[in-house]
Structure 1
Amino acid sequence: MDFRLLGTFEARHDGRPVEMDSRRQERCILAVLLLDAGRLVSTDRLIDLLWSGRPPGSARSVVHTYIGRLRPSLAPYGVRIVTRGDGYLVEPDEHHVDVQEFRSLAVEAGTTTDPAERVRLLDRALALWRGPLLADTADDQLRERLQGPIEELRLTGLELRAEAQLALGRHALVISELTPLVERYPTREQLVAILMTALYRASRQADALLLYRATRQLLVDELGIEPGPKLREVHRGILRDDHRLDRPGRPVYEVRLHGEELPWNVGGHPALDFCNTFAGWGHEPPLPGSEWLRGYRTLAVWTGYVGLTDESAVHRLIGLARHDPGTAEAVLDAVRALRNRLHACLTDPDDRPAFDAVARFARDAAKAHVLRREPDGRGRWWPDLATGLWLPLHAVAWSAAELLVDPRRLTVRACRDERCGWLFLDESGLRRWCSLATCGRSVGAVACGTG
């Protein structure tokens, strides 16, 4: 049997509509069970949903009566409602529920790296939406409680689809599709970031900057927070005419520089982005492709990309590594060891051995830095070029020390996406996700480092 919940409630058998001669609340109970087909739904939850926390004294017997009426009407079509303990479940069998198909397609789209395939899957998923969940069955209060996770997945799917369209060079289409969506969800930063990128690619930098200004003002006025790192990074990229924003064919969570693939800066501090060059924290074995620092050349390019050294030093390091690959490999091993200890003490402030290990790296880095005068007259500490191939290690150790003495260290959070875990600064104390292009969804998130 085919059940359609994304819009008006519909039931079909062999392609023909089935009239459900049942009361609205009975259809609500059936819909709740179908949303979790194959999983037990307690009687208490059904009561809470049906009467919004204000049930009559007879609620339990009423639910039992509704289930009793539904069973004979569904039995001819092979749909079984089973009682288990103090709850009920719909046996999944061969029945089709559009919500489950939507979830499955969204998950599959989130795990594919081919943008064209991602668009195809998400087109199929989003086409299932015929209107609000249970449009003719649930009242607004019940719909809001049931639709939350599904609506979030729909918005995430729209974001993923727009990112894939950008990767295919379809920025004009992204602008037309996202403009009304951003008007409806003006504080959803990921949507805004994607639309700003599309506007930039369409040579509409001024419109992109105006959109950022309006979004920032709204976030400050209504929520009392500044835009997150991802949105700020897109804004900075537009201001400096960053060519990386205008590179179709690459995921927006990955940049390409000097032929090296690097992760996007989302942490808000170079030391956090250093930790985020490994996307498989907490996973054993590590996720495929989670290691971004695949070689010394990548390390050198990344050090320049995040501003820990300058471009001339990067070219010098690449040349030195070609002539001394053994030392380059030893440096890379030491850098990864530092990264492990830094990640440990940032995610567990009570890990004293990890802190002490980072401190030892920092002491060596302090001896390997020189004070240089910048063009504007200010001084800045830079890693000494005389340290040769060891320069990147000293650069990131110095940055780590700066973060560990910074009060903002106490605002470091790990992304809640189960396949991410990247670190970021959360000075607002309100964020759960790292604002990476693939994050902020609890289902089917693609591994951040895959690429």
Structure 2
Amino acid sequence: MDFRLLGPFEARHQGTRITLPARRQERCILGILLLDAGHVVSTARLVDLLWNGAAPPSARGTVHTYIGRLRAALRSHGAHIETRSDGYTVDPAGHTIDARTFLDLVAGAGTDGDPGARLTGYDRALALWRGPVLADTADDALRGRLGGRLAELRLTALEQRAEVHLELGRPDRVIADLGGPADDHPARERLVAALMTALYRDGRRGEALDLYRRTARHLATVLGLDPDPGLARLHARILDGDPRLASPARPARAITVGGEQLPWGVGGHPALDFCNTYAGWSHPGRPAADWLRHYPTLAVWAGHTDLAEDHTVAALLRQAAEDPGAAAAALAEARTFRTAVYRCLIDPADTRAFNTVAAAAQEAARNAVFTLGSHGLGAWRLPPSAGLRLPLHAVARSAAELLADPRRFTICRCPAEDCGWLFLDPSGRRRWCSQAACGKRYAAFAAPDPSPRYSDTITG
């Protein structure tokens, strides 16, 4: 079953919402057990939580009755409430609980070294929230006792996501995300600092300073505190126009299309340029920098490389804004698929990578339609029904076409340690991916090999 606690309580079985007992306290008991799934919740704690320390003499019997009704409602859906000692527990195995998923995603994002992967993790985690914990089941007092830790972690995840956005040079995203939370939680100085920095970088210095004044006033009048020294230093730096507060430098070898930064198209084929959305590789499988940090970048890139039409890209951007969780999942799938394409293209013997690309290409072929383009020629296109996975399908088709083309044997991998980009070299004489980007830097140390062997392009 799929249990949703981060907002109004919902339970679904195989995608269909199921009806639980109508009594709010019965749903509340189930929510309490699910928030602590895998652990025993004593009857005494259930009584204390449900009646907030003012339980009637019949409370324990009432809890037992509620448990019986819940068991009857859940039994046919494969969920069980077990009696353990003087309490009850729900085994989470085989079930999805959004609160547990949220905790796992935030923990994973916090340990990922790649900013794009961190951002994807935070996006997926925060997209699970549809409102306060057990919004239609618990009152404010009970919610504070049950969901205080989750609510606190949600704010922390918002702060951490904002800091990643700042790292990636996207102050507008921070402003959109934190405007409301900063007003609701003026004592969260880390959150306020992120928003002040974003406002300053967005050219709204006056608003950043006003936010500081409002925060300082709240801290003084409500809590009797001065701003944290770090926040005060940030205020002083904004007043002084400290150049260190400027946005992160624009990545090297980047172009801007539709407001998104994309890498140079040096590969000579869309499938290669898809792999080259890594800015550089310290070694295969570990990107040093990555342009595919957000779903809009993937959609705009697909349009830029003619894998999707402009109106399709516009539709994808709207869908991503309406459903950020699904967009984050589609982006994560595309980034994983990109690794398989890269490995398949540099090593013809990697059958595992080839099979991954082949399976995706076959799925794309089943969804493709043959249409007449504006230039008068027919073309295979993915219909809007492909949804947010459309760029992935388009790349899979492109990669399959290259794998069936003899040109795939002319693919070279740039040997520069901080590069590794892929490019076509029919002449057999070009070694570096781009003379401007790599060749000039290494010309003094190594002359280009006039006839590079395919194996040389793999080892770099």
Give me the TM-score of the superposition, normalised by structure 1: 0.53
Asked if the contact 2:41–2:88 (Cα under 8 Å) also holds between the matched residues in 1, the reply is yes
- The 5 A counterparts of 1:47-66 are 47-66=47-66
Asked if the contact 1:5–1:134 (Cα under 8 Å) also holds between the matched residues in 2, the reply is yes
Structure 2 residue identity aligned to 1:63: V
Matched residue, 1:204: 204
Matched residue, 1:5: 5
Deviation (angstroms), 1:66: 1.3
Deviation (angstroms), 1:139: 2.3
Matched residue, 2:149: 149
Matched residue, 2:117: 117
> CA separation in 2, counterparts of 1:73 and 1:210?
54
Structure 2 residue identity aligned to 1:196: M
- The 5 A counterparts of 1:175-324 are 175-248=175-248
Asked if the contact 1:6–1:98 (Cα under 8 Å) also holds between the matched residues in 2, the reply is yes
> CA separation in 2, counterparts of 1:249 and 1:160?
20
Deviation (angstroms), 1:22: 4.4
Deviation (angstroms), 1:12: 0.9
Matched residue, 2:427: none
Asked if the contact 1:167–1:249 (Cα under 8 Å) also holds between the matched residues in 2, the reply is no
Asked if the contact 2:9–2:135 (Cα under 8 Å) also holds between the matched residues in 1, the reply is yes
Identity among equivalent positions (%) equals 57
Asked if the contact 1:159–1:191 (Cα under 8 Å) also holds between the matched residues in 2, the reply is yes
> CA separation in 1, counterparts of 2:213 and 2:137?
41
Structure 1 residue identity aligned to 2:160: L
Deviation (angstroms), 1:181: 2.0
CA RMSD after TM alignment:
1.8
Matched residue, 1:170: 170
Asked if the contact 2:159–2:191 (Cα under 8 Å) also holds between the matched residues in 1, the reply is yes
Asked if the contact 2:189–2:231 (Cα under 8 Å) also holds between the matched residues in 1, the reply is yes
> CA separation in 2, counterparts of 1:215 and 1:132?
24
Per-residue CA distance 1:298-332 (angstroms, 9 max, x = gap): xxxxxxxxxxxxxxxxxxxxxxxxxxxxxxxxxxx
> CA separation in 1, counterparts of 2:188 and 2:38?
33
Per-residue CA distance 1:256-301 (angstroms, 9 max, x = gap): xxxxxxxxxxxxxxxxxxxxxxxxxxxxxxxxxxxxxxxxxxxxxx
- Look up the SS of the partner of 1:82 in the other structure: strand
Deviation (angstroms), 1:172: 1.9
- The 5 A counterparts of 1:346-365 are none
- Look up the SS of the partner of 2:88 in the other structure: strand
Deviation (angstroms), 1:141: 2.3
Give me the TM-score of the superposition, normalised by structure 2: 0.52
- Look up the SS of the partner of 1:12 in the other structure: strand
Asked if the contact 1:166–1:249 (Cα under 8 Å) also holds between the matched residues in 2, the reply is no
Matched residue, 1:72: 72
> CA separation in 2, counterparts of 1:143 and 1:226?
30
- Look up the SS of the partner of 2:93 in the other structure: coil
- The 5 A counterparts of 1:396-407 are none
Structure 1 residue identity aligned to 2:39: R
- The 5 A counterparts of 1:313-392 are none
- Look up the SS of the partner of 2:83 in the other structure: strand
Asked if the contact 2:20–2:70 (Cα under 8 Å) also holds between the matched residues in 1, the reply is no
Asked if the contact 2:21–2:70 (Cα under 8 Å) also holds between the matched residues in 1, the reply is no
Against the structure 1 CA distance between its residues 102 and 81, is the aligned structure 2 distance closer, same or farther, given a 3 Å change threshold? same
- The 5 A counterparts of 1:419-438 are none
1:43 has 2:43 as partner: yes
Structure 2 residue identity aligned to 1:206: G
> CA separation in 1, counterparts of 2:179 and 2:77?
44
Unpaired runs of 5+ residues, structure 1, are 251-451
Asked if the contact 2:42–2:88 (Cα under 8 Å) also holds between the matched residues in 1, the reply is yes
> CA separation in 2, counterparts of 1:115 and 1:40?
38
1:99 has 2:96 as partner: no
Structure 2 residue identity aligned to 1:215: T
